[in-house]
Structure 1
Amino acid sequence: MSEAPAITRTARPPAEVLTPVARALTMTGRSLRISRRNTDALVTSLMLPVMLMLIFVYFFGGAIDTGIPHTAYVTYVVPGVLLLCAGFGSATTAVAVSEDMKGGIIDRFRTLDIGGTPILAGHVAASTARNLVSTALVLGIALLIGFRPTPAVTGALLALAVLIAYIVALSWLSAAIGLLARTPEAAGGFTFLMLFLPYPSSAFVPVESMPAWLHGFAEHQPVTPAIEAMRGLLLDQTVGNSPWIALTWAGGILLTATALSGVLFGVRTR
């Protein structure tokens, strides 16, 4: 009696084995769904920069001399509002990360062998997506009220690269703050610095119009070169080395924030 032929089975990889990129994309989808449900925070992050731009243009714009001939104040102020918008949008990452740490969902993710990097990368990617939507909204309103950029194609792409670099860097920094804070309320308070930096810069008025003792800080903080680069690139003006200084600042913030968040995640999840 002949033996039945052996059945060869093809081994399938376990369902939980995913690449880090796939895990990060899954976490990004989760963060975006949470953002969609948190309508109050979403509307605030979208509308507040628009309201600030309208306030500066229509309430204060007529009294501010930018020192740039034949340039309307709305054209001067839009790059600064875009960076302010990035700060507002990125700050919500800290609250979201802190809520995850407080709510216990991180322990569930760890049982699925999902490490800290994909979780935080998902929050950062979602923050970047939200910020790009907010940026498009701000630009649309700016065009309606008189903003007239004249960039070359390479200038527009480089301005977009500077903006995205700052969004990603600030989002990672915000994620690290969310790990450092013990409550979502504290996380929201710690992000005040990111929201404050555009004000002592060339975002709304020229640095030269500020008190002399403030010039050094205003000229050498990370937001000013980004604003100067974006303003010059969008208006097709000479920018010097401002884009490269801005990208260097963004790269430094990103490297510091990713290293810090890795250490803090390990400490918080021991």
Structure 2
Amino acid sequence: MSAPVTPLSDTERSALHRALVSSERPRRSGPVAASLAFAWRALLKIKHVPDQLSDAIIFPVMFTLLFTYLFGGAMSGSPAEYLQYFLPGVVVLAVALTSMYTGITLNQDMHKGTFDRFRSLPIWRPSVLVGSMLGDVVRYAVASTVPLLLGLLLGFRPEGGLVGVLLALLFIQFFTFSLAWIWTLFGVMMRTPTAVQGATFPLQFLLVFGSNILVDPDTMPSWLGFVVSANPVSHATTVVRGLMHGSLTPGELLGGFVACGVLILLFAPLTMFFYNRKQR
């Protein structure tokens, strides 16, 4: 037989109410605060798994040495001369290849069910995607700085000076954020990280090596030069090369920002559509 329930006194009831009910409800975080929180989460993942930065270091060094000394003499007459043309391009190449991991890590979180927890939070829904992409800034910074420092050791001399180099690195961050929306779309649509990598690699290969990173489009057939010049990676490389060498024109700068805007306008809404659809 259960024991009789003793009613609470007024003092006990008041103390219980104070313990269970907060005097002030926490304010709901806005889009910026939520995005920054998820960006910090992405940075913590890099901190606890520093191996994620290995590709951002190894591949830039490998491409810089390989193309400079293996193809530089054949393309420009000497490795030193080719380095002046190629080094700004290899910086773009490094971050473009590294940006693929944005979609892969996003798919890993979704595959593990982490996003099911985020869905229950009262937050701005796109902040999960935007924050994870902002958190990759460290990876992009490493991937762009490593070949630049190596190029300076090998003899690369940017005519645009320190200001031009810094502006080029800032533009690379914006371009990579724009380009990463493509891989984020694949990360949302595909079922496994392996499928994401298999689907994105051919497209990434075409974008990177079908650009003006390695060769001037003026040396190509007219039809191929037109295709290469329309490549958004070519526009970004032209801006970076122009900033580093101090030869950037207003039209080239406008073309670079237009390319970034087109990537965002095309792939960010599609990514959010499939992300919202998948979260239902």
Report TM bin, short chain: 0.7 to 0.9
- Normalised to the residue count of structure 2, the TM-score between the two structures is 0.84
Query: Which of these two proteins has the greater Rg computed from alpha carbons?
Result: 2
2:249 to 214, 239, 244: 239
Name the CA shift for 1:11/1:255 in 2 (closer, same or farther; >3 Å): farther
* Whole-angstrom CA distance in 1 between matches of 2:175 and 2:248: 21
* Whole-angstrom CA distance in 2 between matches of 1:210 and 1:218: 9
* Whole-angstrom CA distance in 1 between matches of 2:238 and 2:279: 41
* Whole-angstrom CA distance in 2 between matches of 1:52 and 1:212: 28
1:106 to 101, 105, 115: 115
Mapped contact 1:127–1:171 kept (Cα < 8 A):
no
Match of 2:181? 172
Output the aligned Cα RMSD: 2.6
Name the CA shift for 1:154/1:248 in 2 (closer, same or farther; >3 Å): farther
Is 1:127 the equivalent of 2:136?
yes
Q: Which structure 2 residues correspond to residues 1-270 of structure 1 after superposition, within 5 A?
A: 11-14=23-26, 17-65=28-76, 72-151=81-160, 155-156=164-165, 158-192=167-201, 193-270=203-280
Question: Once the two structures are superposed, what CA deviation does each residue of 1:132-185 show, in whole Å capped at 9, x if it has no partner?
Answer: 122122211111111100216764454334312211101222222210111111
Name the CA shift for 1:34/1:87 in 2 (closer, same or farther; >3 Å): same
Mapped contact 1:61–1:73 kept (Cα < 8 A):
yes
SS of residue matched to 1:191 = helix
- Normalised to the residue count of structure 1, the TM-score between the two structures is 0.87
* Whole-angstrom CA distance in 2 between matches of 1:35 and 1:20: 23
- Name the one with the larger helix percent: 2
User: Which segments of structure 1 move beyond 3 Å, counting only runs of 4 or more?
Assistant: 36-41, 152-158
Match of 1:3? none
Name the CA shift for 1:153/1:141 in 2 (closer, same or farther; >3 Å): closer
SS of residue matched to 2:76 = coil
Mapped contact 1:24–1:119 kept (Cα < 8 A):
yes
Structure 2: give runs of 5+ residues left out of the alignment. 1-13
SS of residue matched to 1:202 = coil
Name the CA shift for 1:216/1:255 in 2 (closer, same or farther; >3 Å): same
Mapped contact 2:30–2:124 kept (Cα < 8 A):
no
Mapped contact 1:93–1:175 kept (Cα < 8 A):
yes
1:238 deviation in Å?
Answer: 4.8
- May I ask how many residue pairs the two structures share in their alignment? 261
Identity %: 31
1:186 deviation in Å?
Answer: 1.2
* Whole-angstrom CA distance in 1 between matches of 2:262 and 2:248: 25
Match of 2:4? none
* Whole-angstrom CA distance in 2 between matches of 1:81 and 1:116: 35
* Whole-angstrom CA distance in 1 between matches of 2:274 and 2:61: 34
1:202 deviation in Å?
Answer: 1.4
